[in-house]
Amino acid sequence: MPKTDLLQGTLDLLILKILALGPNHGWGISNRIRQISREGLCASQGSLYPALHRLELRGHIKSEMAPSENNRRARIYTLTTAGRQQLETETETWEQFALSMRRVLRTT
């Protein structure tokens, strides 16, 4: 399955969407993206944590340490209200973008 490279802004959007489904930790987010996209999208894990860091600085997500699997503590991220709004606006922008691209690419 070909893997597409993710641009910075799109990774942020994906993270917000995954967290809208429920709070999760870094690895969980990465795994979910892979699962749901049926291996179509594979977030480079190296860019995952910087992306999470950016989102937290902007106030779109918040985090706290909590016990989880493996008898280890993990940092669980949650979507904030601001993040929820951001998700909506960005999803709409993205869909507009995708529609425009499709129109141009499918023109004969």
Partner 1 sequence: MFRGFAARVRGLLRRSRAHAEADEEIQFHLEMEMQANIARGMTPAEARRVALRDLGGVTQAREAVREVRTLWFDSTWQDLRYACRSLQRRPGVFVAAVAMLALGIGITTAMFTVVDALILRPVPFPKPDELAFIYMGNEHGGRAMLLWRSFARGNAVRPSHVRSRLGRIRP
Q: Are 32 and 18 a contacting pair, CB within 8 Å? A: yes
CA 99 from centroid of its chain's CA atoms: 21
Q: Which of 23, 37, 74, 91 binds partner 1 (CB under 8 A)?
A: 74
Using CB under 8 A as the binding rule, whether residue 105 contacts partner 1 is answered as: no
Quick check: 56 binds partner 1 (CB under 8 A)?
A: yes
Tell me if 38 sits within 8 A of 1, measured CB to CB: yes
Q: Is 37 an interacting residue with respect to partner 1 (CB under 8 A)? A: no
Of the residues 10, 37, 68, 91, which one makes contact with partner 1 according to CB under 8 A: 68
Indicate the DSSP class of residue 69: G
Identity of residue 46: G
Strand 73-79 with 61-67, pairing: antiparallel
Nearer to partner 1 (CB atom), residue 67 or residue 101: 67
Binding residues for partner 1, rule: CB under 8 A, are 25-28, 31, 44-50, 52-53, 56-59, 62, 65, 68-70, 72-75, 80
